[in-house]
Structure 1
């Protein structure tokens, strides 16, 4: 606010002038046809971290293990390039990187998402924090507009309710164009209190007009008695361009030659303490190779940090590699029907060129309710992005599946002698292999042929042998999926046909299955979302034993978080019903909003980030219509849902579901 002192004749404008100026701000991008696509600029970043209060729990926070002990002040500087696909999609390449953090480890990487505020967009930062400078968010803010000069107006804004998705602050706006030249705002989101100052003082005709000239992010992080403060200074559009041969250099002389702003006394003191008077040497080796020590404790802590508490990641312009930490609460989930589950994830991508890239994703986990280990591996090759052309190989062990036909046969052959339902003879473990290819024949029509192979083995093999039944069922099934979407605003319609061929590759099953599905995902203003899915499926050609296993209606024992699978599924439906009916018809609807019911309450609004309403309907063979109603919300700590199920109009049961969200975005 200091820059506003000394400005004479500040005049509060009337409501008419206020509306005119706000409309100019809202229409600024459209009026001047501004966009930030396929743009590259030189960029400088300086991060200073201080830890006035800390304890051992700080090492459990992602990327903060190395600042949880030792020095209390750290500095990191980098210089390189930033490449924009859009203002929210960009990649940063560090060509020079100097750090006083041990091992030059990345620290507070969450701040990257705050580095380029999209002040004119619906959300400031990658789907969160509603911008007061977007028309659809005007209902959530109160504005006061004052004239500070003939060319500049001061717009002060504050939220109408105390919510973590809203901010308060001010902006200097150019009266003639509606261009924001300077803004400062404060807020709190995902455990971070932030105070961000951004300078946009660039001409309208500048190719980098939407990119900040300078952005300073001050944050305070408090967690279990720890207090950590940080200041991240970002300078964009720097003059000096480094050759591409320089990558992740630690050369201080090179950094001194291109640094756009000088170091202050605090920065120099941090360097002096860390480098022990070596700051004036030509090259700074950020960390000298340590002499080998027989220090088991230190080695153990390094292994703990590198593999247990932090993600393993590496990336460059051609691809990336990442593995989730082995110990992380956010991978724990629970629901009444599926029980407790824990999972890990890994992924890698390599880009051959702009049209071809190879991607690998793996998900492994354990479900404690049925005491089973799960995995799902996916190798995906994009060969024609213009036509959504890809080739994919999937290997997974699926979910434990029931074969009702086996139980019927056993009950018929051994009537009134054995209670087979208690022996779990109809349960099988499913190993699944699939090769699929997708191509868009037109802009509206896609087809996806696939080859699917199932190897199902009985859970109770001894019991099956004792009753004279096979312990293994194999199935080879060609499949074809047709997709049709008239336009982007229409639902996606799909039809899937799968036929299992007996006698091919040891297949001892035969069936035909059809599924029809329509799904719609619609985004509205202010981060509101509407999801709807309607579909059905049925089996034909029931000449041999088969497993009821639909692709669009099945149990998932390793669910993800709020944005993964909390829509499009029934949360309380008994798992046996997924494999007991020869047909199904289902409808799932959900509605998301960052400000719906609870978020309007003062205390709840500070921590609730989004809310969701659910409705599900299922019609199965030999049962009455099944309904579910639900309400859920996500916070910085957990996502929590409450559900009630009904058969017709009769209440059945009440259940909950939760997943940990703490530090999920970190």
Structure 2
């Protein structure tokens, strides 16, 4: 308790220093941001008109269809060998530093935030690969009037709730064809990856944006975006010409992509928000198939250089044309190479071995025609390593095989292996699913692997007899069993959002220490055979049809779940038991970039006369790395793993509040890389822990996620710890 008290004192002093520094930085930093500018503030009456108009224009366009032409020019200012090991990165030619990429697409938008892009033609000098760092589609989702931009990554300065994070200065007053136009400068009050800096020109005639010029930073990307809005009455709310500069810097690599985007609108449909909500309530239809189609139809994709030149809407510059000519010369030299066949074969083998080597440290994707698609996560990759106070250091590796048939049927196989260095345990599992009815999510699944070590229900009687005042796992004699499981199941969606899962769960458990002393207390082998029923219901599930496949998007309502399993005695070593579990979970957008996620649930075992293993499905200890969003918000980070099997019943609740601005935003000068701050809270009710409460605070960056947690048992703080996961390139 003395050491724990010292930890609390250190944390308290750090928080005091943090708030003092926050105040100094907020006062001094804010004045300094405006010290170099002599422009007047924008009057409150003008800002009020801007915010009111933006709230209306954000919902003005209900749908549009447009032709999108993109032209990107990539320049490599500096690179080293590390760049080719960055996941989701282009493959570059040796000694070539300039590239060009063009595409013509059909863009379809449906309110509130559904974008579909169908690529029709491509012309490029890239030899292979793709890069999400230079994907302009995220920047196309730039409705400046909306509260958040780029798929909720940035806060719009035209939103009244977000205006508290910005300064607004009147730079000048111009007179355009549309009349009087204000040029307004926007300055963030503090550095943040969720805020923009720059200018926008707004017409006083109807308070619409005519032009904007913003700079920002997110993840490893610095971007500069300029948009010219349409001039016609039906396009004045939409961008017509886009210039985008993206700079990627990582470990002494410096890459720059300059994009030009041009949109030609074929159809723009206006619909007021009230009318859309009324139509939705009347129809009660959740099928959004009209807003989604295939991203790319490769059977009709134009890739011929001459064919692309005939449909290119904007001409190339001399420098851009020279990139194509140089690329053609390099290809011509390769085709004219007269190396002996043996040497050529040896060269191909070297290329193949190099690709296998790349697979060790980068994501690898092999698309084999008529066989399927194989995806391998990197073998040497910090993303697969995590540390937590409870589980220590762990590592996992995952492979994926997918085979999509022409009628929408899907075969999905995912083997995974992992190792926990602290517990010195090796884990392996394989999940296989065959979707035979994609319209109803009808599938057959097989799950096999080895689970966590577990002790039998015989221990529960010892726990029950031990008083709370002297209870300790260290004083108990726990006989652990290894576990091998096999689940066979059938899944079908009988109604939209209502899924029924039926199957059989089997376990083979054997004692870790099969000594005679252990054999005197328990049997060395226990098996189980249990039919299982799982019902999952999400009311109001939105979906779209991709051919014969039904793709669920999400719902505004919680997801409810009931899971029942009954063990039956089919052979000598098989036991009888019943397990019930229920839960409800939901993620709610509060406003802008603020979200609340909650998970409540409980479970219990009945038919307790026979020996069994308390092994819950929705309340389990995970020893391998999980995604931050999947794991850290719905589990207890400081709870001893032995508690998960220590009670015949439990009730739990977990909540996570996520926001870009909570405690650290005043010290943005030092912590400008913080993207998210999170508050965690969890409560658990079970014998000897009535209740167990866990509180936590965490931050999310583009490099890593980190959280600090405090455990409280029956009103007494018992543990302090942390969790750390690498998130670089993971999003």
CA distance in 2, matches of 1:606, 1:224: 19
The 2-side partners of 1:129 and 1:315 are apart by 39
**Equivalence map 1:479-628=2 (5 Å):** 479-481=533-535, 483=537, 491-503=558-570, 508-628=574-694
Secondary structure, counterpart of 2:669 in structure 1 = helix
Post-superposition Cα deviations, 1:81-132, rounded to whole Å, max 9, x if no partner, equal: 3444557543444443333223x32245542343302323333112312222
Partner of residue 175 from structure 1, selected from 204, 217, 234: 204
5 Å-filtered alignment, 1:256-335, equals: 256-276=309-329, 292-295=344-347, 297-305=350-358, 308-312=361-365, 322-335=375-388
Structure-2 separation of matches of 1:493 and 1:245: 40
Distance of aligned partners of 1:178 and 1:629 in 2 relative to their CA distance in 1, 3 Å threshold: same
Is the Cα contact below 8 Å between 1:645 and 1:654 reproduced in 2?
yes
Change over 3 Å in CA distance of 1:202–1:569 after alignment to 2: farther
CA distance in 1, matches of 2:331, 2:534: 66
| Pair 1:173–1:219, CA change in 2 (3 A) | same
Contact 1:436 1:449 in 2 (8 A): yes
The 2-side partners of 1:190 and 1:383 are apart by: 39
Does the CA-based 8 Å contact 2:377-2:397 persist in structure 1? no
Q: Is the 8 A contact 2:90 2:126 kept in 1?
A: no
Give secondary structure in 1 for the equivalent of 2:642: helix
Question: Would you tell me which structure has more helix in proportion to its own residues?
Answer: 2
Counterpart in the other structure of 2:148: 123
Provide the C-alpha distance between the structure 1 equivalents of 2:637 and 2:528, rounded to a whole number of angstroms: 30
Residue in 2 that maps onto 1:365: 417
Contact conserved, 1:238 with 1:260, CA < 8 A, in 2?
no
- How many equivalent pairs are there? 626
Aligned ranges 1:27-426 → 2 under 5 Å = 27-30=56-59, 32=60, 34-36=61-63, 40-64=65-89, 66-67=91-92, 69-84=94-109, 88-102=113-127, 104-116=128-140, 117-145=142-170, 147-149=173-175, 150=179, 152-201=181-230, 203-205=232-234, 212-237=239-264, 247-276=300-329, 292-295=344-347, 297-305=350-358, 308-312=361-365, 322-339=375-392, 340-344=394-398, 346=400, 348=402, 350=404, 358=410, 360=412, 362=414, 364-368=416-420, 369-370=422-423, 371-377=425-431, 379=433, 381=435, 390-391=442-443, 393-397=445-449, 399-405=451-457, 425-426=479-480
Give deviations 1:287-329, integer Å, cap 9, x for gaps: 999972423654432333367423417699xx98754333332
* In 1: Cα distance, 2:322 partner to 2:684 partner: 66
Q: 1:489 Cα shift?
A: 6.0
Q: Deviations over 1:448-507 (max 9, x none)?
A: 342231222325374489658242413222324364769966654444332222228x98
Q: Give the secondary structure class of the aligned counterpart of 1:625.
A: strand
Q: Distance in 2 between matches of 1:652 and 1:277?
A: 67
| Structure 2 CA distance for aligned equivalents of residues 311 and 94 of structure 1 | 24
Secondary structure at 1:233 match in 2: strand
Kept after mapping to 1: 8 A contact 2:192/2:672: yes
Q: 1:18 to 1:620 in 2, by over 3 A?
A: closer
TM-score, normalised via structure 1 length: 0.82
Is 2:509 the counterpart of 1:457? yes
SS in 2 for 1:563: helix
Tell me if the contact between 2:526 and 2:574 (Cα under 8 Å) persists in the aligned partners. Answer: no
Task: Identify which range, 572-581 or 623-632, moves more after superposition.
Answer: 623-632
| Contact 2:707 2:724 (C-alpha < 8 Å) held by counterparts | yes
Aligned mates of 1:43, 1:614 — CA distance in 2? 43
Q: 1:45 to 1:349 in 2, by over 3 A?
A: farther
Is 2:69–2:104's contact at 8 Å kept on the other side of the alignment? yes
Q: Deviations over 1:487-532 (max 9, x none)?
A: 966654444332222228x981211122232334221112111122
Report the counterpart of residue 27 of structure 2 in structure 1.
none
Q: Tell which deviates more after alignment, 250-259 or 645-654.
A: 645-654
Change (3 A) 1:576 1:270: same
Q: Distance in 2 between matches of 1:398 and 1:118?
A: 48
Q: Tell me the distance in 1 between the aligned counterparts of 2:336 and 2:678.
A: 49
Which 5+ residue runs of structure 2 have no aligned equivalent? 1-38, 267-295, 464-472, 542-554
CA drift of 1:262 comes to 1.6
Identify if the C-alpha distance between structure 1 residues 610 and 250 changes in structure 2 by more than 3 Å, giving closer, same or farther.
same
Residue 193 (structure 1) shift: 0.7
> 2:25 maps to which residue?
none
User: 1:65, 1:305 within 8 Å by CA — same for their partners in 2?
Assistant: no
Mark the CA change 1:25 to 1:325 in structure 2 (over 3 Å): closer, same or farther: same
Pairwise CA RMSD of aligned residues?
Answer: 3.9
Q: Is residue 584–residue 620 contact of structure 1 (8 Å, CA) maintained in 2?
A: yes
User: Contact between 2:166 and 2:189, CA under 8 Å: does it hold in 1?
Assistant: yes
- Give per-residue Cα distances to partners, 1:535-580, cap 9 Å, x unaligned: 2211110122211112221112234333222211101111121112
Query: Contact between 1:211 and 1:236, CA under 8 Å: does it hold in 2?
Result: no
